[in-house]
């Protein structure tokens, strides 16, 4: 599927003769949100919106004008086995909302004998993965009569996820008082909820749900200022969109720096904080930047042109890198960029921004390939990425680019960091945490049942 009508069918007419104008008006152009070309687009909506809007159930090949080719048939072939026999202990799990990045991670639940259902938002953004899904055997529930369908299914637990667009639907399901244990898992961004007016709903999801999952302890502590919830058994720590371990290959590539003696760093995604003057300073230290992502290249054309003038030969533009190539492609780099920013919270939770709390999705990408993670040294501030990478000893922290150059040239220390990342990389996969997640679901169900029993007594 594509919005390029020439590719779709007009080219088939080339052999029939020349196309000429009729000089007659046969239609009129208007603008509305459900136009086909607006739904089939790389920016804003994308493949998930397209499949949801048109009710497409099967995996497809999709390419919007100017966008990358998405081949669901090939990409998810290893996640499309016949339905796994549900074990006697398997749970019926209703997923509410959207799955963001790396949605195929949920296949690990099916592999363990659990049966999944999906009730999806209808206003997804490009990165909000919703059904119908091209992997696994998740059964979709329709929004127009979802309560009746849920009553028929009788799920054991509701797992509501993941970003700010899911808040209204999750809140609707929560406040419908279905009597089903409800777990709320939020990734980002609470500050968007404030701006959009869904903050009260978000707080309800934290205070009225039976279980809460936080990305990290920093996020948990921040939210508990508003919810007054204690650190108890009803909470769990898990990053919301970490990938399946099936993408964590074993084939590492030789370092580019071993060829030319200069440092090579990678940015797989948005250039958060990497301004043109910074790249000039990197070039002065003989540090290369390899920038991946077709979509993001279109976002920064002036930046790229300016960089090629200021740091000629030190900026390298690369096509998208698929999950199956993460390890082989990214392991050739000395280090990878997380979001580069200067924190200003001075250790006070109320002064923290979402940059301070967020785990960028690229953390798992870099970890899978055994790549040490670059970030500004924000010692003295609450910064979740710095806390985690220091704990695992997988990060490079710096205050100036001369200091960064020295650290990247310290081969002994860099080799140690690289091995530390490789040895800890499973932590950044969903499979590493999935059994603990199921245990949390089961504990939540038990607590809910105990509360119901006490109410009856």
Question: pLDDT at residue 86 above 80?
Answer: no
Task: Give CA–CA dist 385/198, Å, rounded.
Answer: 27
State the sign of the Cα–Cα–Cα–Cα dihedral 439, 442, 448, 453.
negative
Instruction: Please provide residue 138's backbone torsions phi and psi, each rounded to the nearest 5 degrees.
Output: -70, 130
Helix (H, G, I), strand (E, B) or coil at 374: strand
Question: pLDDT at residue 54 above 70?
Answer: yes
Say which residues have a Cβ less than 8 Å from residue 237's Cβ, sequence separation at least 6: 213, 214, 215, 216, 217, 220
Contact 420, 393 (CB under 8 A): yes
- pLDDT bracket for residue 326 (50, 70, 90): very high
| Domain residue spans of the chain | 5-22+33-73, 85-244+431-456, 249-428
Q: By percentage, how much of the chain surpasses pLDDT 70?
A: 96
Helix (H, G, I), strand (E, B) or coil at 360: coil
Question: pLDDT at residue 452 above 70?
Answer: yes
Q: Which CATH architecture has domain 85-244+431-456?
A: 3-Layer(aba) Sandwich (3.40)
Say which residues have a Cβ less than 8 Å from residue 212's Cβ, sequence separation at least 6: 183, 184, 185, 206, 220, 223, 229, 234, 235, 236
Dihedral (C-alpha) 102, 103, 105, 106: value to the nearest 10 degrees?
170
pLDDT, mean of residues 365-393: 98
pLDDT of residue 394: 98
- The answer to whether the 85-244+431-456 and 249-428 domains have the same CATH topology is yes
Q: Six-digit token pair at 155?
A: 């799920």
Question: Closest Cα to residue 42, out of 25, 22, 65?
Answer: 65
pLDDT of residue 295: 74
In tens, the pLDDT along 158-190 reads 999 999 999 999 999 999 999 999 999 999 899
Order of all β-strands in the sheet with 373-376: 315-318, 287-292, 263-268, 335-337, 373-376, 395-398
**Could you give the C-alpha distances from 457 to 115, 177, 210, 368, 453, in angstroms and in order?**
32, 20, 20, 51, 6
pLDDT of residue 123: 87
Question: pLDDT at residue 43 above 60?
Answer: no
In tens, the pLDDT along 18-39 reads 888 899 999 888 888 788 888 8
Question: pLDDT at residue 456 above 90?
Answer: no
- pLDDT bracket for residue 457 (50, 70, 90): low
In tens, the pLDDT along 414-437 reads 999 999 999 999 999 999 999 999
Contact 190, 104 (CB under 8 A): no
Question: pLDDT at residue 46 above 90?
Answer: no
- Out of 3.40.50.970, 3.40.50.2000, 3.40.50.720, 3.30.930.10, select the CATH number for domain 249-428: 3.40.50.2000
């Amino acid at each position: 599927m594509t919005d390029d009508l020439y590719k779709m069918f007009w080219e088939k007419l080339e052999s029939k003769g020349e196309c000429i104008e009729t000089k007659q008006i046969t239609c009129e152009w208007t603008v509305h949100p459900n136009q086909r070309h607006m739904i089939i687009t790389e920016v804003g909506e994308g493949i998930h919106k397209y499949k949801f809007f048109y009710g497409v159930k099967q995996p497809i090949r999709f390419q919007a004008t100017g966008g990358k080719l998405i081949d669901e048939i090939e990409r998810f072939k290893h996640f499309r086995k016949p339905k796994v026999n549900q074990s006697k202990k398997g749970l019926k799990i209703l997923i509410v909302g959207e799955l963001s990045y790396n949605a195929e991670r949920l296949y690990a639940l099916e592999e363990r004998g659990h049966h999944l259902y999906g009730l999806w938002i209808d206003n997804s953004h490009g990165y909000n993965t919703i059904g119908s899904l091209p992997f696994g055997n998740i059964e979709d529930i329709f929004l127009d009569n979802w309560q009746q369908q849920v009553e028929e299914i009788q799920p054991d637990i509701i797992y509501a996820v993941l970003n700010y667009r899911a808040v209204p639907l999750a809140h609707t399901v929560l406040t419908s008082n279905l009597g089903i244990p409800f777990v709320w898992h939020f990734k980002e961004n609470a500050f968007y909820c404030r701006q959009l007016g869904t903050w009260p709903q978000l707080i309800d999801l934290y205070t009225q749900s039976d279980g809460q999952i936080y990305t990290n302890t920093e996020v948990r502590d921040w939210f508990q200022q508003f919810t007054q919830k204690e650190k108890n058994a009803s909470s769990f720590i898990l990053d919301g969109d970490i990938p399946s371990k099936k993408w964590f290959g074993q084939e590492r590539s030789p370092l580019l720096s071993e060829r030319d003696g200069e440092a090579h760093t990678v940015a797989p995604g948005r250039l958060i904080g990497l301004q043109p003057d910074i790249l000039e300073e990197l070039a002065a230290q003989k540090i290369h930047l390899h920038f991946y992502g077709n979509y993001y290249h279109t976002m920064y054309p002036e930046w790229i042109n300016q960089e090629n003038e200021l740091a000629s030969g030190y900026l390298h533009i690369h096509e998208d890198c698929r999950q199956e190539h993460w390890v082989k492609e990214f392991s050739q780099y000395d280090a990878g960029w997380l979001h580069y920013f200067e924190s200003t919270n001075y250790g006070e939770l109320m002064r923290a921004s979402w940059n301070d709390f967020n785990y960028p999705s690229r953390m798992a990408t870099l970890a899978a390939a055994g790549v040490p993670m670059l970030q500004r040294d924000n010692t003295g501030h609450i910064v979740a990425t710095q806390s985690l990478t220091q704990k695992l000893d997988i990060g490079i922290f710096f205050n100036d680019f001369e200091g960064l150059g020295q650290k990247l040239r310290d081969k002994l220390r860099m080799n140690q960091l690289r091995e530390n990342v490789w040895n800890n990389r499973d932590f950044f996969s969903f499979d590493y945490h999935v059994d603990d997640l199921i245990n949390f679901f089961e504990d939540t169900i038990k607590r809910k049942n105990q509360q119901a029993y006490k109410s009856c007594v």
